[in-house]
Chain A
Amino acid sequence: DVKVTQSSRYLVKRTGEKVFLECVQDMDHENMFWYRQDPGLGLRLIYFSYDVKMKEKGDIPEGYSVSREKKERFSLILESASTNQTSMYLCASSLGDLGSPLHFGNGTRLTVT
């Protein structure tokens, strides 16, 4: 069974802090994704990666960056956290085939005060 692990379930940070959200998958999946989930807005794609060191912007990349140095790990970075980045962050992975289903982690609920 695919396991996608996010390093923290809950995180509280102060405005202006640099924040790292880590995600690791154990099934050798090529694709990895970062979404944020807010009530009434569904899941919005921040960034995705289809290979090591490759990344593409999603619909809401502003204020975020990502890093994929190893195939199994995809990090989301908030360079200077702001209160409007308070949200649930979901990491997902999938095989390299187009249309492969996403396997999600349990999410990180980030609060920026």
Chain B
Amino acid sequence: GQQVMQIPQYQHVQEGEDFTTYCNSSTTLSNIQWYKQRPGGHPVFLIQLVKSGEVKKQKRLTFQFGEAKKNSSLHITATQTTDVGTYFCAVSMDSSYKLIFGSGTRLLVRP
């Protein structure tokens, strides 16, 4: 069953507003990855977080891994129409190759 919760399911923002999606697990995670899927496309890898409390940035995107390694967030500053898509977190729990995806957050941006 679902082992990772991702919220919100949808977010509709005005261009220039910020956006955040959250990924939560009841168990400690080995690592967490984030993917973006454009409409009609396939998921594309964005980043991986491994260490407790880790923060990584990619231009306007900030990724954070919780201290307890049970949650993570992706924050986009000043959204643009090119940010439209569905953002997924993906986790592995016990040093396994098995990667479990969250249900995704669909971001819509009004120009």
Which of A40, A94, A106 meets B42, CB within 8 Å? A106
When distances are taken between beta carbons in the complex, the residues of chain A under 8 Å from B88 are: 42-43
On whether the beta carbons of A99 and B45 are closer than 8 Å, the reply is no
Which of B31, B33, B92, B103 meets A42, CB within 8 Å? B103
Q: Check B73 for interface membership: any CB of A closer than 8 A.
A: no
Report, as a range, how many residues of chain B touch the other chain: 20 to 34
When distances are taken between beta carbons in the complex, the residues of chain A under 8 Å from B48 are: 99, 101
On whether the beta carbons of B45 and A42 are closer than 8 Å, the reply is no
How far is B42's CA from A35's CA once the two chains are assembled, in angstroms?
12
On whether the beta carbons of A31 and B97 are closer than 8 Å, the reply is yes
Question: What residue in chain A is nearest B101 (Cβ atoms)?
Answer: A43
With an 8 Å Cβ cutoff, the count of chain A residues facing the other chain is 25
B91 → chain A closest CB, angstroms? 10
When distances are taken between beta carbons in the complex, the residues of chain B under 8 Å from A107 are: 42
Q: Check B30 for interface membership: any CB of A closer than 8 A.
A: yes
On whether the beta carbons of A40 and B103 are closer than 8 Å, the reply is yes
Binding site for A on B (CB under 8 A): 1, 6, 9, 30-31, 33, 35, 41-45, 48, 50, 88, 90, 92, 95-104
Instruction: Taking A41-B103, A45-B99, A101-B33 as given, write out 14 further A-B residue pairs in contact, using a Cβ cutoff of 8 Å, ordered by the A residue number.
Output: A33-B99, A42-B6, A42-B102, A43-B101, A56-B98, A94-B97, A98-B30, A98-B92, A99-B30, A99-B48, A99-B50, A102-B43, A106-B41, A106-B42
> What are 21 A-to-B residue pairs whose CB atoms are below 8 Å?
A31-B97, A35-B101, A40-B9, A40-B103, A43-B101, A43-B104, A45-B101, A48-B98, A56-B97, A56-B98, A59-B1, A90-B43, A98-B95, A99-B33, A99-B50, A99-B92, A101-B33, A101-B48, A102-B43, A103-B45, A105-B42
